[in-house]
Amino acid sequence: MKELNPTDPIGQNIIKLITNVCFSVFVFCVLIFTVIAITYQPPDPWESSRALTNIFTKFENATFKTDITVLKTGEDIATAPMAMPDDGSLSSITESTIQKSENELVKNVTLKPGCEDVSVVNCSDPRVLIAIQRFNLRTYKAIAFLDYQVPVNGSKPDECDVAWRFRNKKEKSWRKYRDFRRFRIGFRDDCSYKVIRPGRWHSGLNARRLRIPLSTNGNGRNGKFDPQIRDDEINDTIPVLGTDSAFRKGKYLYYSRGGDYCKGMNHFIWSFLCALGEAQYLNRTFVMDLSMCLASMYTKSNKDEEGKDFRFYFDFEHLKEVSSIVEEGEFLRDWKRWDKSHKTKIPVRKVANHKVTPVQLRKDKSTIIWRHFDAPEPENYWYRVCEGPSARYIERPWQALWKSKRLMNIVSEISGSMDWEFDAVHVIRGEKAKNKELWPRLDGDTSPDALVAKLEGEIVPWRNLYIATNEPFYNFFDKLRSHYKVHLLDDYSYLWGNTSEWYNETIVLNGGRPVEFDGYMRVEVDTEVLYRSKTRVETFYNLTKDCKDGINTC
C-alpha cells in the first residue's frame, strides 16, 4: 500500500487512504470468490442434503427402521411438475376448449332441433359429449381431463356411457388414468342436453375398452393369461438386446446380491437408487434383477418371501424410459452366448467391495464392471458405495422411480369412487400403540372415542372420510360411522380380488400364479389415497402429543 506523503494536503491523504483500503478489500474478495468457485461442489438435491437424507433414511444398526409409511418416490418428492411430453397428449380440456368445440359445431354442422323426441337421447350427438364435459369440469375439480371417447348408449334410452383419460392435479408425474361412467341425460327448457345424474366410478361398462390380446406376457413369452380388460398404456415387458454385436458394444454395471436382499422396502429403494446412480455416473447400463425378496414385515406368513417381481411395486415402464437398464436374465443369457460362440471373452472388471469408489472406475474400459458384495453385514449393503467421498459425485435418480401404475390405478379407483371429494385421517396404531414406554398416550389418543372427539373439530360431519391405518380390526372405527361416511381399504378388496383387472394383469407377470396383495402394496395404496384427500389429519402432530419416534424425539 502506498505510504502517505506528509507534504500532501490532509484531504488528499484521506482520499488516498480510503482508495487504497477499498482496492485491498476488492482484491481480497476476488481472491476468496475464486477459491470458492474452484473448490465448491454443489449439493446433490436428492442425496447430499442432510435434511432430505434424514427424511428418507433414518436407520439404526445400518438397516432402516420400518413404519406403515412408504418412502416417497419420484412423483411424490418433485418440487414442480415433471417434464411433460411435448406431443400435446397432456393438454387438458377447459371451458374455453369446450366453447371452441361448440362454436365449430354450430358453424360446420347442421343440427336437428333437440326437441323432436325427448324420450330418447342420441348419445352420438356431439352436444351430449359437450354437456358431459361441462358437468365433469364443474364437479371433479381435482382432476384434469385429457380426452374423451365418443359416448355410446347405456342400458336405458336416457343413458349414455362415456370413457375419458385424466390425470390428478396433485400428481407431479405425467401418468394418465382412465375412467368410464354412465350418465343419465335429460333436456333443458331450451331443449339442450343436460346431465341429470352421473354414475359411479367405472359404471359405464359399454364404453370400456374391449379386450386387447397380448402378444407376449410380462416375461416376453406366451400370453395365456391375458386379462379381459387391461390398461394398454402399461408396457413393462423386458427389453431384449437382440444381437451379439449389440451386447458387445455395450458397457454394463452388474451388482451381485448383497445384504440388502430381504430387508425392508425403504432399505431396498435407498440401495437400488445408489446402484442406478453409479451406473449413470459411469455412463453404463445397469444390470437389474427384477426378482425381489419381500421382508417378513409385509407378508401374511410373517416370513421373508422371495420371487416377488419389481413390477408389482414400481413402474418398470417409466424406469426403462429414463434409465439405461437391462434385465439380469437377458444379460446373463447374452453373456453366456457370446462366450460360447467367440474365442475372445468379454472383458470383465471384478470389484471386491464397496471401498473401490466410482471415481476409481470412471476410466475403466471393461465391458462389464461386476461389483461383489460378499463381506458380512453391514459391509455388503449396496448403498455403502454411495457413502463418504462418493456422495459428492453420485446422485440418486429419484425421478426414475415411480410407484406401480397398476397400484396407482387402484388409488384412482378408490378416489374416484368417492368422486375425488373426501377427507382422510392417518391412524397409526399396531406395535407403537402397545409400547407404552415410547408412546404412552398413543393408544388412548387413537381410541374410537378420542378419534370422534378430535375429528369433529377438524372435518365437517357426513363428509367422505378415508381412514389409512395399520389397525387390523375392521370394526375398530365403527363409532365414526355415525358421524362420517367411513371408507377403509378393505372396503375395496374387489379391486384386487380374483375377478379384478389388477389380479388378471399381475397373474400374467407371475407366470400364471396368483399374486398376493401384500402388506407393502396395502401401504402404498393407503398412502397415495391419503395424499389425495382435501383435508388430512395425521396421527403425530394432530391426534396425539407423542413423538413420532418415541419420547423426547420431537
Number of structural domains (the chain) is 4
* Together in a domain, 317 and 463: no
Is position 213 within any domain?
Answer: no
pTM of the model: 0.80
* H-helix segments, 59-164: 74-77, 95-108, 126-139
* Together in a domain, 316 and 441: no
Q: Can you give the pLDDT of all 554 residues of the chain as single tens digits? A: 445 454 556 666 666 767 776 777 776 776 665 555 444 333 333 333 343 344 444 433 344 444 456 667 877 776 555 555 555 556 788 888 888 888 887 766 655 555 666 667 899 999 999 999 999 999 998 899 999 999 999 999 999 999 999 998 888 777 889 999 999 999 988 888 999 999 988 899 999 876 444 444 444 333 444 444 456 678 888 888 777 778 888 999 999 999 999 999 999 999 999 999 999 999 999 999 999 999 999 999 999 999 999 999 999 999 999 999 999 999 999 999 988 888 888 999 999 989 999 999 999 999 999 999 999 999 999 999 999 999 999 999 999 999 999 999 999 999 999 999 999 999 999 889 999 999 999 999 999 999 999 999 899 999 999 999 999 999 999 999 999 999 999 999 999 999 999 999 999 999 999 999 999 999 999 999 999 999 999 999 899 999 988 888 88
63: Cβ contacts below 8 Å, ≥ 6 apart:
263, 264, 267, 377, 378
* 365-392 per-position pLDDT tens digit: 999 999 999 999 999 999 999 999 999 9
Domain hosting 125: range is 95-207
* Together in a domain, 261 and 389: yes
* Together in a domain, 262 and 377: yes
Q: Quickly tell me which residue has 458394444 as its cell.
A: 249
Is position 1 within any domain?
Answer: no
> 183, 207, 231: which is the final residue of a domain?
207
What local confidence, expressed as pLDDT, does residue 100 receive? 85
417: Cβ contacts below 8 Å, ≥ 6 apart:
200, 201, 492
Is position 2 within any domain?
Answer: no
The residue among 248, 345, 264 whose CA lies nearest residue 58 is 264
Is position 214 within any domain?
Answer: no
Tell me the torsion sign for CA atoms 15, 21, 27, 29: negative
* Together in a domain, 187 and 248: no
* H-helix segments, 446-492: 448-456
The three cell numbers of residue 496 are: 384386487
The three cell numbers of residue 511 are: 407366470
* H-helix segments, 109-197: 126-139
What local confidence, expressed as pLDDT, does residue 42 receive? 34
What local confidence, expressed as pLDDT, does residue 217 receive? 41
What SS3 state is found at 466?
A: strand
> 381, 400, 419: which is the final residue of a domain?
400
Distances (CA, A) of 442 to 65, 451, 541, 547: 19, 11, 12, 9
388: Cβ contacts below 8 Å, ≥ 6 apart:
357
What local confidence, expressed as pLDDT, does residue 51 receive? 37
The three cell numbers of residue 463 are: 363428509
Q: Centre a 10 Å sphere on the Cβ of residue 213 and count the other Cβ atoms it contains.
A: 7
* Together in a domain, 250 and 387: yes
* Together in a domain, 452 and 357: no
* Together in a domain, 312 and 451: no
* CA atoms of 180 and 207, how far apart (whole Å): 6
* CA atoms of 413 and 272, how far apart (whole Å): 30
What local confidence, expressed as pLDDT, does residue 41 receive? 36
> 348, 377, 400: which is the final residue of a domain?
400
107: domain CATH number is 3.10.450
What SS3 state is found at 464?
A: strand
* Together in a domain, 388 and 512: no
What SS3 state is found at 286?
A: strand
Q: Quickly tell me which residue has 395365456 as its cell.
A: 224
* 35-66 per-position pLDDT tens digit: 554 443 333 333 333 433 444 444 333 444 44
What local confidence, expressed as pLDDT, does residue 34 receive? 58
* Together in a domain, 297 and 331: yes
Q: Centre a 10 Å sphere on the Cβ of residue 41 and count the other Cβ atoms it contains.
A: 9
CB-side neighbour CA atoms (13 Å) of 3: 3
